Amino acid sequence: MALVPLKVPLREVHPDSAGAALEGTSRPGAAPPKLRDMSDEAAPGRRTGGTETVDTDGRTTVVTGRVDTAPTTVGSARSAVPTGGVALHVKGRILAGPEDVRDELWVVGGRITYDRPATVRDVRTVTGWVLPGLVDAHCHVGLDPHGPVPAEIAEKQALTDRDVGALLLRDAGSPTDTRWVDDRADLPKIIRAGRHIARTRRYIRNYAHEIEPPELVAYVAREARRGDGWVKLVGDWIDRGVGDLTACWPRDVVEAAIAEAHRLGARVTAHCFAEDSLRDLVEAGIDCIEHATGLTEETIPLFAERGVAIVPTLINIATFPDLARGAESKFPRWSDHMRQLHERRYATVRAAYDAGIPIYTGTDAGGGLAHGLLVSEVIELVRAGLPVVSALNAATWGARDWLGRPALDEGAPADLVVYEEDPRVEVRTLADPQHVVLNGRVVG
């Protein structure tokens, strides 16, 4: 049993708390994200009544008992969220914000409440240090290194993310239609960016719409309508004629495309490894840059001033030396460039953080990497020099705010993760969640 004493004095939060990372999360003048109506995510249904004893994993205290009579939905793959009764009591240390710590919450109808329900008794209780469901702000569901994958593989990808506590995914481009995931209360919530938009033969095969600049505005409009408030561009890629990374889109075209996305209520992000596309994209009004390894002393202040976020995907950048080695003979200049970007990756992220650029966690799973690696990315951000609380913020409170989704707020869907230790003190506790709660149900 891994019980957390209830009256443990709060440890000091790291002095560099998440304030810097929280700044700039709302961008004046930026198009508001298109929010999905979440009311449909919780289908009706309640847990079966009667006294019951549920076997536990033996690691965390779990008390169960009589629950109000209702049709059972528990255990079904397509099960609905319990509503109407008190399903769960969560206590210990509820980290509602970096420094907002509460003693307990209840889940009623799949949603969080801090008001003790009148009828609370004999409900299941879980205890520990509680974070909002983690956010993988850059992954791909329904995609593998070769292209689209069948629904059953996409389902496994989503479940793998869920089981490490990643309960909100920003899908940074997928050719697969994963809308069916939205009907599954047992799968993480996905915010989609439609399908990647790349220049012809300038991206991984089978991933993107591959088009030329005159078509960009129309394709951006199409993907803005298809997605959940985001559009994904491939901003730079190897130009085989040049033998190095080069920018994919002329400035005037990308400016018109971003304006069109904003007009349609979508934000725009772009894959960028190199230096030379960044200024144009930021000045054209882009909202976020993926990877952002090419940030320099010149562009960092620009990002900070405009509040343009980055999702570094450091666990993906770790593959650059291998990529460089593989292409050395054919593209030596590109290989050298990739190695340089890799070598300064931590310094780049740290400088971005110090300048106040909003940073969020993303794994790039579903491209070359497996799903379920989000905790490694949080640890990489700490390795790059972010204070632990800021790295947590990049994966929880801050990321949710940025994406327009609630964290552990009153009335929010109960998507949370319970840990044995204080993750602000021991970030590695994230690797061993005691319980994963999704839509108010303990799913792991």
**102: nearest Cα among 413, 407, 425:** 407
If the CB atoms of residues 64 and 376 are measured against Zn ion, the closer one turns out to be 376
Q: How far is the CB of 367 from Zn ion (least distance, A)?
A: 5
If the CB atoms of residues 47 and 196 are measured against Zn ion, the closer one turns out to be 196
Told to check if 367 binds Zn ion by CB under 5 A, we report: yes
Among 136, 161, 364, 415, binds Zn ion (CB under 5 A): 364
If the CB atoms of residues 220 and 436 are measured against Zn ion, the closer one turns out to be 220
Owner of token pair 């009256």: 7
Owner of token pair 């989704």: 405
Q: How far is the CB of 143 from Zn ion (least distance, A)?
A: 9
Told to check if 387 binds Zn ion by CB under 5 A, we report: no
Q: How far is the CB of 269 from Zn ion (least distance, A)?
A: 10
If the CB atoms of residues 332 and 368 are measured against Zn ion, the closer one turns out to be 368
Q: How far is the CB of 193 from Zn ion (least distance, A)?
A: 10
Sheet of strand 230-234: strand arrangement? 209-211, 197-199, 230-234, 267-272, 288-291, 309-311
If the CB atoms of residues 91 and 271 are measured against Zn ion, the closer one turns out to be 271
Paired tokens of 388: 């632990």
* DSSP per-residue string spanning 164-177: TTEEEEEE---SS-
Told to check if 362 binds Zn ion by CB under 5 A, we report: no
**375: nearest Cα among 143, 181, 131, 154:** 131
Task: Annotate each residue in 157-186 with x if it binds Zn ion (CB under 5 A) or - if it does not, as one string.
Answer: ---------------x--------------
Virtual CA dihedral for 10, 15, 17, 23, nearest 10 degrees?
Answer: 150
Told to check if 236 binds Zn ion by CB under 5 A, we report: no
Residue 268 β-bridge partners: 231
- Specify the stretch interacting with Zn ion by CB under 5 A; choose among 83-91, 213-221, 254-262, 365-373: 365-373
Q: Are strands 267-272 and 197-199 parallel, antiparallel or unpaired?
A: unpaired
Told to check if 24 binds Zn ion by CB under 5 A, we report: no
If the CB atoms of residues 17 and 348 are measured against Zn ion, the closer one turns out to be 348
If the CB atoms of residues 42 and 311 are measured against Zn ion, the closer one turns out to be 311
- Specify the stretch interacting with Zn ion by CB under 5 A; choose among 9-17, 20-28, 213-221, 363-371: 363-371
Asked if residues 126 and 442 have their Cβ atoms less than 8 Å apart, the reply is yes
Strand ranges inside 183-253, DSSP E: 189-192, 197-199, 209-211, 230-234, 236-239, 244-247
Q: How far is the CB of 370 from Zn ion (least distance, A)?
A: 13
Q: How far is the CB of 364 from Zn ion (least distance, A)?
A: 4
SS3 of 77-118: CCCCCCCCCEEEEEEEEEEEECCEEEEEEEEECCEEECCCCC
CA distance 86 to 106: 7
**288: nearest Cα among 316, 307, 302:** 307
If the CB atoms of residues 62 and 137 are measured against Zn ion, the closer one turns out to be 137
If the CB atoms of residues 20 and 172 are measured against Zn ion, the closer one turns out to be 172
Told to check if 155 binds Zn ion by CB under 5 A, we report: no
* DSSP per-residue string spanning 30-83: SPPP-PPPGGGGS-------S-------SSS--B----------TT-TTPPPP-
- Specify the stretch interacting with Zn ion by CB under 5 A; choose among 105-113, 151-159, 321-329, 366-374: 366-374
Q: How far is the CB of 365 from Zn ion (least distance, A)?
A: 8
If the CB atoms of residues 235 and 356 are measured against Zn ion, the closer one turns out to be 235
Q: How far is the CB of 179 from Zn ion (least distance, A)?
A: 20
If the CB atoms of residues 107 and 266 are measured against Zn ion, the closer one turns out to be 266
Paired tokens of 61: 């205290």
Q: How far is the CB of 302 from Zn ion (least distance, A)?
A: 23
Q: How far is the CB of 144 from Zn ion (least distance, A)?
A: 12
Angle between helices 374-384 and 388-395 (to 10 degrees): 140
Angle between helices 332-343 and 345-355 (to 10 degrees): 50
Single-letter amino acid code for the residue at 155: E
The residue at minimum Cβ distance from Zn ion is: 364
Q: Which residues of 350-361 are buried (b: 16+ CB within 10 A; e: fewer)?
A: bbbbebbbbbbb
Q: How far is the CB of 169 from Zn ion (least distance, A)?
A: 12
Told to check if 235 binds Zn ion by CB under 5 A, we report: no
How many residues bind to Zn ion according to rule CB under 5 A? 3
Please report, as ranges, the residues that interact with Zn ion according to CB under 5 A. 172, 364, 367
